[in-house]
């Protein structure tokens, strides 16, 4: 399986997908993902987007996006505002808002590196089933559910600028 994500002329994730989105970081939209070579037997796709460069800043890897039970095919830009039905996982904004604001904690959160270019690890999984995950699932629940159901996975590191 192979995944492709748009990049700018410098090889970075374009501004509109992170803190430099027009109108500010809260207006960032998720980037489209082209998915090729989905293996036979795949029933759904799943996504993780994690910033491991955040550890020195926040003390833990920052979860920017968790999505499961996506239909097969390419993943559209601005997924949260598309007509695609899927299970929305909990991002690391939960550490700030807890369960008080699921509209913030269950969506794509664009890159916001505070100190230098960060490399965001995007993984798309081809899954042999629909995972038993409700909106608001956590990464540990995802990992438990996906165990023994991954037919293939593709990972790419996406750099985003800090200034």
CATH classification of the domain holding 107? 3.90.280.10
pLDDT tens, 112-151? 999 999 999 999 999 999 999 999 999 999 999 999 999 9
Query: Phi-psi category of 63—alpha, beta or left, where left has phi over 0 and alpha has psi -120 to 50?
Result: beta
Helix intervals (H) in 2-79 = 55-58
In whole angstroms, what is the distance from residue 150 CA to residue 82 CA?
A: 25
Overall domain count for the chain:
1
Instruction: Give the domain extent around 34.
Output: 2-160
Taking alpha carbons only, the member of 21, 73, 5 closest to residue 43 is: 73
Q: Identify whether the C-beta of residue 41 lies closer than 8 Å to the C-beta of residue 128.
A: yes
**End-to-end CA separation in angstroms for the chain:** 33
Q: Identify whether the C-beta of residue 117 lies closer than 8 Å to the C-beta of residue 51.
A: no
**pTM of the complete model:** 0.96
pLDDT tens, 45-83? 999 999 999 999 999 999 999 999 999 999 999 999 999
pLDDT tens, 17-55? 999 999 999 899 999 999 999 999 999 999 999 999 999
Q: What SS3 state is found at 34?
A: strand
Q: Identify whether the C-beta of residue 93 lies closer than 8 Å to the C-beta of residue 105.
A: yes
Q: Which helix (H) or strand (E) holds 94?
A: helix 94-97
> Above 90 in pLDDT, residue 99?
no
79 CB neighbour count, 10 Å cutoff: 21
Residue 63 phi/psi, 5-degree rounding, is: -85, 115
What does the DSSP 8-state code read for residue 98?
Answer: G
């Amino acid at each position: 399986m192979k995944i492709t994500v748009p990049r700018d002329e410098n090889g970075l994730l374009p501004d509109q997908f992170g803190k430099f989105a027009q109108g500010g970081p809260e207006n960032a939209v998720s980037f489209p993902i082209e998915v090729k070579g989905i293996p036979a037997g795949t029933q759904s796709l799943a996504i993780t987007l994690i910033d491991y460069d955040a550890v020195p800043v926040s003390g833990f890897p920052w979860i920017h996006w968790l999505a499961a039970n996506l239909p097969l095919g390419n993943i559209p830009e601005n997924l949260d505002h598309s007509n695609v039905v899927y299970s929305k996982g909990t991002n690391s904004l939960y550490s700030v808002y807890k369960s008080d604001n699921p509209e913030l904690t269950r969506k794509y959160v664009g890159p916001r590196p505070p100190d230098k270019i960060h490399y965001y690890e995007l993984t798309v999984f081809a899954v042999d089933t629909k995972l038993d995950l409700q909106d608001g699932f956590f990464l540990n629940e995802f990992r438990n559910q996906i165990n023994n159901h991954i037919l293939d996975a593709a990972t790419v590191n996406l750099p985003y600028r800090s200034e």
